[in-house]
Amino acid sequence: MKILILNGPNLNLLGHREKSIYGSRSFEDYFEELKQDLPALELSYFQSNTEGALIDKLHEVGFSDYKGIIFNAGAYTHTSVALSDAIKAIEVPVVEVHISNVYAREAFRHKSMIAPYCKGSISGFGLESYRLALQYFERLKPKQIGFGAKN
């Protein structure tokens, strides 16, 4: 089962950025661990600090043989109508993830522009938020996801 993990702005700085919130581990190291721990899943990873590149990747994967997208849109979560429109337009289901508990942070982070078009949202479990989202897709029966599945 093919799953894309899509990370937005500043997530390339994991391991260096605000370690008290995001931890000291790089996403690349964590991604390698996920691939080892979940060999039945065909995982791919893309990160960009640019909104347009994230939209292009959603469009590319959104009508493909991928069975799911796990998306941490970073700060774009709270501001991007364009990303929410892209998620709404595609067929592959999306799960929104956040490393920190966005509801325990600044008030502007409490509103997600993408959540209404995602299958669900997971936040506050550190990098393990990604694993929880992967387990959701892993446990679904093939007929429950894929083309025609609505976010």
Query: Could you tell me which residues are beta bridge partners of residue 68?
Result: 3
Instruction: Tell me what pLDDT residue 13 has.
Output: 87
Domain count, the chain: 1
Instruction: Tell me what pLDDT residue 146 has.
Output: 46
Instruction: Tell me what pLDDT residue 149 has.
Output: 42
All residue ranges of the chain with pLDDT < 50 are 145-151
Question: Does residue 150 sit within a domain?
Answer: no
Question: Does residue 151 sit within a domain?
Answer: no
Residues taking part in catalysis: 22, 98
Instruction: Tell me what pLDDT residue 24 has.
Output: 73
Which of 82, 81, 83, 60 lies closest to 71, judged by CA? 83
Please give the torsion angle defined by the CA atoms of residues 141, 131, 37 and 55, in that order, rounded to the nearest 10 degrees.
Answer: 80
Q: What is the spatial order of strands in the sheet that 2-7 belongs to?
A: 42-47, 2-7, 68-72, 94-98, 120-123
Question: Does residue 149 sit within a domain?
Answer: no
pLDDT tens string 106-146: 776 678 999 999 999 999 999 999 999 999 998 875 555 44
Domain housing 100: 2-144
Instruction: Tell me what pLDDT residue 151 has.
Output: 46
Instruction: Tell me what pLDDT residue 100 has.
Output: 84
User: What CATH number should be reported for the domain holding residue 112?
Assistant: 3.40.50.9100
Instruction: Tell me what pLDDT residue 148 has.
Output: 39
Which of 151, 130, 138 lies closest to 39, judged by CA? 138
